[in-house]
Structure 1
Amino acid sequence: MNTQKHISVYILCGGKSSRMQTEKGLVVFNKKPFIEWILDAVKPISNHIFLITENTDYSIYKYPLVADIHKDKGPVGGIHTALTHTNTQQNLILSCDIPMISTHILNRYLINSKVINSNIAFVSDSTRDYPLIGMYSTNNLEKFETAIQQNHLKLMSLIQSSTYHRIQVASRDFDALYNINTQDELQTLIQRKL
């Protein structure tokens, strides 16, 4: 197992999702909560894994829970918290709603890619960007701090004001990026995997 000592992983567990009507990371897919699928994908990558949440339901996973420094600031607030908390320059930031993500995909496109040391690198399919499957350097901390102070909470526009790499994912790997925001999307995914 080739874990990277120089990368920390932060999973943004968010709060109660208004569209999912429940704690998104704990939604069950194929007999396991989303968070377990994501933890399985990142365990081979790093020994430094943190969950950005105040929900103690996640404590059963035995990873440190990190509360948002600024409440209700969405992903920008979550990433800011991660970059403030981390001891490594490079940080893998993931949302909690991507149960199809795998170690292979993360290694292939982010960890072992040439953009590992860029300020921000995230994956994209042919139609959508996935900034919450990305690597964020602590060089971004000041930018995120300022964004929160000014209440600029649109993550993509913040990224676009920085130096970033958009990594195009091969079409055969698109499924791994699929993020589940609603019960309908969850049912669609279940049907696809039957």
Structure 2
Amino acid sequence: MKDQITERIAVYILCGGKSTRMNAEKGLVEYQGKAFLQWILEAVLPLTNQIKLVTQNEAYAQFGFPLIGDLVEDKGPVGGIYTALADSKIYLNLILSCDIPKISTKLISHLIQSAQSSKKEVSMLTDGMHDYPLIACYRKSVEEDFKIAIKQNHLKLCALVESLSPHKILISSPDDQSLQNINSDKELKKLNQEAFYSGS
């Protein structure tokens, strides 16, 4: 499966700026002794090593993957996705945020395969209550939509993705726990407590 996916998809992980609620660079925050980003990389690498990190922070160079800075600064996730799509030479692109340490190879593989078989330009995971446009596959063809959104300063990612009529892939319990965004010290403490009590 790895060779098949490697030829058809590029992966971009958005390692955006410092989180005010976490008071730290989110991708470098540690969970069970490893940076969030390391957990994500370990989930992706069984499928492909075509990975780039969207960030200008040289601290991420330690992970050994190319770093690319935003083409237009301070445009949030919309700017990050635009940067990724502008950089990509591949039709299908997996976009991930850097704050999902519990993401699994299984879910990523399911997302990619669903996106490959869909006619939609965007395919993203959903738990039925929340959509995850930063655990999603974007076709190169939507690059212009993101460019226009940035020019018009329309930076609400969910609204932009919804306007593209995305393919939503429903993930049910217990797999939906893998979608959890960790955005604050409180959420990190809860995650560590859950890991402690589960013995993982």
Q: Fold conserved (TM > 0.5)? A: yes
Listed as ranges, the matches of 1:44-123 within 5 Å are 44-108=46-110, 110-113=111-114, 115-116=117-118, 118-123=120-125
Superposed CA deviations along residues 101-146 of structure 1, whole A, max 9, x for unmatched, are 01111112x1122645520011111321111000000110110000
CA distance, structure 2, for counterparts of residue 27 and residue 105 of structure 1: 22
- Which amino acid in the other structure matches residue 74 of structure 1? G
Q: Does 1:181 align with 2:169?
A: no
2:82 and 2:143 in contact (8 A); partners too: yes
SS of aligned partner of 2:138: strand
Query: What do the CA deviations read for 1:17-74 (whole angstroms, capped 9, x no partner)?
Result: 1111110000000100000000001112222100000000000111000100010100
| Aligned AA (1:113) | S
TM-score by length of 1: 0.96
Q: Which has the higher helix share?
A: 2
- 3-state DSSP of counterpart to 2:101: coil
- The partner residue of 2:18 within 16, 19, 26 is 16
Asked if structure 1 preserves the Cα contact closer than 8 Å seen for 2:126 and 2:170, the reply is yes
Aligned to 1:133: 135
**Which residue among 34, 37, 49 is the counterpart of 2:36?**
34
- Structure 2 SS opposite 1:163: coil
Superposed CA RMSD: 1.2
**Count of aligned pairs between the two proteins:** 193
Residues of 2 paired with 1:171 and 1:158: CA distance?
A: 27
Greater shift after overlay, 41-50 or 93-102? Answer: 41-50
Q: Unpaired segments of 5 or more residues in structure 2?
A: none
1-side partners of 2:2 and 2:85: how far apart?
24
Greater shift after overlay, 17-26 or 114-123? 114-123
Q: Is the 8 A contact 2:114 2:123 kept in 1?
A: no
User: TM-score w.r.t. structure 2 length?
Assistant: 0.93
Structure 1 residues not aligned, in runs of 5+: none
> Quick one: structure 1 residues 148 and 49, their matched pair in 2 at CA, closer, same or farther if it must change by over 3 Å?
same
Q: Distance in 1 between matches of 2:137 and 2:86?
A: 15
The 3-state SS of whatever aligns with 2:114 is coil
